[in-house]
């Protein structure tokens, strides 16, 4: 068996140990004679799997009983509409911070339901920075304040949690959840598509403060109503059972490795090493203001764009996959989520050095 280092932004690399366990349990989950994929979601076995995954996520992330944890479907993108439908309540406007492509998508979708106030934007700076909170024009009467802590495509990450006063803070944590310790109590709602740091695509995890439940607009589709999903333990309809199970295996893997504290230290080391190498080189460059460089997604360019395809071809030959940058940004991007081992960073830097020596 040969496992490549997969630097894809999502669906992303999963821990090898998790996939091995899933393989072992594939045909016969613990003597039931069934795959998890074939189990009724109402069965005792599956309900236990689901509950344990939730418990492990709560332990890992430090989620108190003040919050509901929902395992929904439709990816993070479905939340772009679900959030305003559920949180506007009797208000009409919501604040959004624009720091990149995912912010813009969230803003565009929310604009179909709400008066969106873009309280700050770094678009004029090419999304290479996060606007200082002192210049945000937030509305104290907004239903909520939405931001994107890690812009997966641009590789821009907040190094602070915004202050939102009594306005609930909403975060799209798809590509940064569980990458380090986080004070959940600062947030009204967190959502995260699973395919970066949690598990298979399609599943989206929502962590919502319970007092924010129960104010969905009347026309909200039942399947998008947080209260309905919470009341039914995320089983109003058939949930994404296998993805939920796999997420549970990832949570166990994280716990066994020391949880988010240990992951934070490893992730910082991985990012420092890669950015350190890029900065020391005249051949590779990253445009993001150093303070706001993402620990999870590291875009970089080559001194000469015409070498991009040769770089990618050589990388693939060494089992360094999916380093091509997003089509809207160009260049390269190395996504180095929790499941990317430190060896993968070393292998990437080793290749970058060799390529630079041969081509520069």
Ligand X SMILES: *Cc1c(COP(=O)(O)O)cnc(C)c1O
Instruction: Determine if 243 is a binding residue for ligand X (CB under 6 A).
Output: no
Which of 21-29, 69-77, 238-246, 312-320 is the region at the interface with ligand X (rule: CB under 6 A)? 69-77
DSSP 293-318: B-SSEEEEEESSGGGHHHHHHHHHHT
Sign of CA dihedral 137, 139, 143, 144: positive
- Catalytic member of 102, 244, 253, 295: 102
Residue 263: helix, strand or coil by DSSP? helix
Binder among 98, 152, 179, 301 for ligand X (CB under 6 A): 152
Q: Which of 29, 95, 172, 270 is catalytic?
A: 172
Residue 205 CB, nearest approach to ligand X (Å): 11
The span from the CA of 124 to the CA of 102, in Å, is 16
The answer to whether 343 is annotated as binding is no
Q: Which is nearer to ligand X, 193 or 351 (CB)?
A: 193
CB of 179 to ligand X, least distance (A): 12
- Strand partners for 6: 321
The answer to whether 152 is annotated as binding is yes
CA 356 to chain centre: 31
**What is the per-residue binding string for ligand X in 184-223, x denoting contact by CB under 6 A?**
---------x--x----x----------------------
Per annotation, catalytic residue among 29, 136, 196, 253: 196
Separation of alpha carbons 358 and 351, rounded Å = 11
Q: Is residue 148 a contact residue for ligand X (CB under 6 A)?
A: yes
Quick check: is 295 catalytic? no
Beta carbons of 207 and 190 less than 8 angstroms apart: yes
Tell me the window of 32-40, 72-80, 326-334, 349-357 that interacts with ligand X (CB under 6 A).
72-80
Q: Which residues contact 125 (CB under 8 A, 6 or more apart)?
A: none
How many other β-carbons are positioned within 10 Å of the β-carbon of residue 191?
24
Measured from the CB of residue 152, what is the shortest distance to ligand X in angstroms?
Answer: 3
* 76 assigned ligand-binding residue: yes
Helix residue ranges, H only, the chain: 16-24, 44-61, 75-87, 101-110, 226-231, 241-256, 259-280, 308-317, 342-359
Q: Does 109 bind ligand X (CB under 6 A)?
A: no
Of 49, 76, 120, 250, the residue at the interface with ligand X (CB under 6 A) is 76
For residues 4 and 328, the answer to whether their CB atoms sit within 8 Å is no
Is residue 172 near ligand X by the rule CB under 6 A? Answer: yes
CB of 250 to ligand X, least distance (A): 16
77 is a contact residue toward ligand X (CB under 6 A): yes
Asked whether 300 and 292 are in contact (CB, 8 A), the reply is no
Count of residues engaged in binding ligand X, rule: CB under 6 A: 13
| Whether residue 102 lies in the annotated active site | yes
- Output 174 or 322, the one with its CB closest to ligand X: 174
Residue 82 interacts with ligand X (CB under 6 A)?
no
Q: How far apart are the first and last CA of the chain?
A: 35
Check residue 10 for interaction with ligand X (CB under 6 A).
Answer: yes
Is residue 125 part of the annotated active site? The answer reads no
- Rule CB under 6 A: say whether 98 interacts with ligand X: no
Q: Which residues are bridge partners to 71 per DSSP?
A: 205
What is the per-residue DSSP string for 32-93?
SSS-GGGS-TTSHHHHHHHHHHHHHHHHHHT--TTEEEEEEESHHHHHHHHHHHHH-TT--E
Binding site for ligand X (CB under 6 A): 10, 75-77, 102, 148, 152, 172, 174-175, 193, 196, 201
Query: Residues forming the annotated binding site for L-glutamate?
Result: 42
Write out the catalytic residue numbers: 102, 172, 196
């Amino acid at each position: 068996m040969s496992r490549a280092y997969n630097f894809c932004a999502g669906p992303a690399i999963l821990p090898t140990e998790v996939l091995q366990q899933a393989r072992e349990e594939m045909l016969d989950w613990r003597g039931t004679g069934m795959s998890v994929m074939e189990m009724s979601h109402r069965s005792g076995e599956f309900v236990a799997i689901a509950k344990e995954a939730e418990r492990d996520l709560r332990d890992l992330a430090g989620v108190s009983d003040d919050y509901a944890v929902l395992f929904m479907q439709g990816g993070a993108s479905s939340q772009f509409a679900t959030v305003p439908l559920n949180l506007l309540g009797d208000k009409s406007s919501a604040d959004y911070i624009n720091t990149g492509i995912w912010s813009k998508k969230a803003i565009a979708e929310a604009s179909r339901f709400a008066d969106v106030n873009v309280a700050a934007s770094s678009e004029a700076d090419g999304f290479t920075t996060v606007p200082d909170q002192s210049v945000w024009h937030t509305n104290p009467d907004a239903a909520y304040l939405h931001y994107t802590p890690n812009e997966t495509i641009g590789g821009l990450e907040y190094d602070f949690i915004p202050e939102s006063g009594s306005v609930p803070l909403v975060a799209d944590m798809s590509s940064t959840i569980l990458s380090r310790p986080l004070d959940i109590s600062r947030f009204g709602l967190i959502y995260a598509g699973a395919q970066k740091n949690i598990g298979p695509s399609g599943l989206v995890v929502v962590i919502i403060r319970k007092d924010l439940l129960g104010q969905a607009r009347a026309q909200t589709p039942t399947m998008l109503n947080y209260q309905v999903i919470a009341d039914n333990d995320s089983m109003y309809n058939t949930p994404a059972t296998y993805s939920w199970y796999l997420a549970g295996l990832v949570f166990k893997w994280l716990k066994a490795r020391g949880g988010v504290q240990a992951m934070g230290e490893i992730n910082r080391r991985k990012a420092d090493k890669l950015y350190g190498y890029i900065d020391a080189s005249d051949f590779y460059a990253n445009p993001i203001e150093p303070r706001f460089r993402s620990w999870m997604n590291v875009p970089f360019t080559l001194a000469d764009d015409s070498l991009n395809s040769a770089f990618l071809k050589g990388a693939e030959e060494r089992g360094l996959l999916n380093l091509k940058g997003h089509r809207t940004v160009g260049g390269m991007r190395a996504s180095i989520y929790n499941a990317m081992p430190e060896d993968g960073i070393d292998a990437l830097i080793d290749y970058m050095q060799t390529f630079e020596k041969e081509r520069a």
